[in-house]
Amino acid sequence: MAALERTLVLLKPDAVARGLAGRIIQRFEDAGLKIVGTKMVQMDAELAKKHYFDLEERFGKSVFDVTANFMQTGPVIALVLEGVEAVATVRRLVGVTFPNQANPGTIRGDFAHTSKAYTEAKHTVAANLIHASGNPEEAKYEVELWFGAAELFDYQTVAERFLF
């Protein structure tokens, strides 16, 4: 049975700096996802280490360093989205990690274009606009890391009457 889930989305510094926040958030709302938490945060080194705790182990120190440094270059907008199978739905809407491989119609496919080859050659981060939790367990950890219970809201939207 499909589960009602919550997931974390971060609009990265490139999305904020390019003024894409409203257009990106609209995509999630258009898909029937509900915002239950939101805030703008300047990520510091401590939060980057907690958020990307396994990145160095999976991809190496240089990938962690580039990613953590990029995430500290400007504010991020943190969102908790709720909906049926929200984690998978968000991942589908966002598109694959490297924008040049993302399908048209996805957020990364429509608003970004960097490639893995370019980022590796320049030793830079893929400016891919968004972080989205990879699975329900990761979503639970990330939501709890970024938001306290008092920052999350339960309410019913008009659309929920028709969608669920």
Whether the predicted pLDDT of 43 surpasses 70? yes
Give residue 164's pLDDT band: very low, low, confident or very high (50, 70, 90): low
Q: Per residue in 110-151, pLDDT tens?
A: 999 888 899 889 888 889 999 999 999 999 999 999 999 999
pLDDT over 90 (residue 75): yes
Residue 110 placed within a domain: yes
Q: What is the pLDDT of residue 60?
A: 87
Residue 20 lies in a domain: yes
Kindly tell me if the per-residue pLDDT of 2 is higher than 80: no
Query: 0.75 cut: is pTM over it?
Result: yes
Question: Which residues does residue 10 pair with via DSSP β-bridges, in sequence order?
Answer: 78, 131
Rounded mean pLDDT of the chain? 94
| Residue with the two structure tokens 């329900």 | 136
Does residue 51 form part of some domain? yes
- pLDDT of residue 39 exceeding 90: yes
* 131 given a catalytic annotation: yes
* Range of the structural domain that residue 107 is part of: 4-155
Residue 79 — very low, low, confident or very high, per pLDDT cuts 50/70/90?
very high
CATH number of the domain that residue 117 is part of: 3.30.70.141
Gyration radius of the chain over CA positions: 16
Report how far residue 89's alpha carbon sits from residue 51's, in angstroms, rounded to the nearest whole number. 21
Task: Say how many domains are in the chain.
Answer: 1
Residue 10 lies in a domain: yes
**Residue 25, pLDDT score:** 98
In a domain, 160, yes or no: no
Q: Is 163 among the domain residues? A: no
Residue 15 lies in a domain: yes
pLDDT surpasses 60 at 7: yes
Residue tagged active-site, from 51, 113, 123, 131: 131
- Give the 3-state DSSP-derived string for 59-80, with helices as H, strands as E and coil as C: HCHHHHHHHHHHHCCCCEEEEE
In angstroms, the first-to-last Cα distance of the chain is 13
Sequence length of the chain is 164
